[in-house]
Structure 1
C-alpha cells in the first residue's frame, strides 16, 4: 500500500514544520501558556489565514475537504511542537459535531465563525464515574413548552475557559442522547477551571437548572454523530502523539551524544544504545498504527472503531514507554521544568488518558474479537 504524500500534503507538512519552528520555541510556548486565555491568539489567526481551520471540514459546510491523512499531518506537526492551541478540543471535535447535527441557521451562527477563527468552542461529554463512556450520561434535559431545562455536571472539559460556547450532551426523557449548545455566560452555568498535567486548559462545567430556547438544541439523538466525532478525535490524538514521541526520541538522542561520562559520550555505551533502539521501535510501530487509525475513518462503524481502538491502545502504551525512557536517560534533570523533554513526557502520559486509556480501548478490541 502506498503511503506517500501528495505534493499538496508535502507542502502542508513543510509549511507547518516551518511555522511551528518559528513561532513555538520552548520560550514562546511558555509565554503562550502564561498569557491570559483569550481567543483568537496571534497563532490561531495565522492558522486561519493558512486555511488550517477549514482543512478538516467538508466542502459542504465551508471547509476544504481534507481527509484523515491531512488531519494526521496537522496533528503530528502540532504534537512535535507541543503547540498550546486547542486545535482538536476547540475546533475539530465541536466543529465536526456541529457539521453533523446543526441546521443551516445554527451553522451560520456557530460553525462559520469557528472556521474563520473568530471564536473557539468546547465539547462537554465526560462525566464523573462514566470511565470514558460517552453514553453513560446522567445530565438531564427536560423539555417544557418551547424551552429545555438542563441539570448535571461535565468533567474535564478541554478548552472550557476560552470557548465562546459549549456543546453539552444530556439524557432526554425519551431515553435518547441529546446535544445542546450553551453560550458562555448562560445563567445557571458555573465553571471550575484548572490545567491538566500537560498544561492544557480544562475545567468542570456544572449546570444548575439551565434554561435554553428550543433553537439551542442541536440534536435529540446525537449518539451516532458523537461516536463518529470521538473516533475522529482518537485517530487525531494518535497522530499528535507520534509527533511528540518523535521529538522526545530526538531530544533524548541529542542529549546522549552531548553528555559525557568517563570521557566518552553516553551514546557510545551499548546498553543505552539498546534503549534508544527500543524507543524507536515503539515509535515506528506506533506510526503504523496511527496511519491505520487515520485511514480507517471512512470504514463502517464497527470496523473503524475496532482499528482505532487498537491504534489508541498501542500508541498509549508506546507513549508511556517513550516518556519513561526519555526521563530516565536524561537523569534527574529530565524531571525539571527547564528540561524541555519533561514537557513531552507529561504530554505523552496524558495522551493515554484523553478519549479513553489503553485499558479502555483494549476492552473494546476484546469485545469486538469476542463478537467475531
Structure 2
C-alpha cells in the first residue's frame, strides 16, 4: 500500500534557559543578558519558509514550543512566531498551541500576552513541590513560585494546563513522591506528565550521579502514584501522561501515532512523509544557537537525503523498511490504547505480517495484542515495554 500523508505538527525549539539543570540532556544553553531574541525569531521564519514545501498542502494541527525555556522569550516574540507559522503554513481550525514554561519566568502581564498571542495550552515544568528536591535538581524556583505559577496561568486565561512532575528523585521517599502528586492534583490541572528521573549521558548527573531510590521504592512510588491519579480522575493514556476529561496532549499524540512534524530552531528534529517518493525522512537542524544564527547569512545550502534544501540542515536519515517496525512500534506502543492497525500500512507502507515472527511470539507471551482494530501492548506489556521493543531492535 502506498503511503498516505498523516497530520502535520510543528515543533519550535527555543534553546536558552536561566540555568542548565544537572539532569537535562536537551539542547539548552544558559542565557546571558543579551539573548538575540529578534534575530532568532527572524531565523525561525527563514527556517520555516524553507521547510514550507514539506507541508505538502497540509495545515498545522498543533504547535509545540520546547526548549530550553520558551517562556524566557517575550510575548511579542512568541506572537510573531505564531503569526509567521500561520502565514507560511496555515492552521487547522482547532489548532493546539503549547508553550513550555518554568515557574522562575512567570509574570502576569507576559503570560496574558502569551494567551493573547494564541497559545492555548501551557506546560509548566514544576518537577517537584519539595524545596529540598528542587535544590538537588538545580531548579531556579521553589515551592511557592511553583504554586504561584499555576495561579498566574489561570488568571492569564489558560484553561488547558499541564504540570510536568518527576519522581524517583534524589533522597525521595514514597511519601515525598505522593505529597508531590497530591499537591499537583489539588491544583486541578487538566493534564499531568508524571515520569521517573533517568540519568542521561552528557549531563552533570551522569558525571557525578546522585543517590537515587532503590528499585523497590521506585516500584512502590509508581504503583501508589498511579492509583492516586486514577482516583482523582486522571486517565493514563500513555506511559507518563494522565488527562482529565479527555484533555490529552494532541501534539504528543501525533508523535506517538507516527504523524509528521516540522522542526525549526537550533537542534530541532522533524519527520516527514513523501508519498510520491515512498520515503519517510527524519531531519535535524544545526545544534548550536550561534551556528544556527550564522546560517542565515552563510549561504551554505544543505541538501538532505530526500533532496530537500535548507541552510540550517545538519543531517537526515531515510527510514529503511528494516528499521520501520521498531520506529513505528516504539511510538505507538507508548499509548495505552495503541494505534489503529491501518496506520501501519498508511504511515509506513508495511502490513501486519511484516511484524512477524516477533509479533506472534510476543502475542503468545501475553505482551501485545490487536484489540478492537488497534495494535497495542497488554497491561503486562506496558510494564515491560523495553523488552517488547528489544524484539525488533535487530532491524
Same fold, judged at TM 0.5 (above)? no
TM-score by length of 1: 0.27
State the structure with bigger RCO (CA 8 A, min sep 6), 1 or 2: 2
TM-score by length of 2: 0.26
Q: Which has the higher strand share?
A: 2
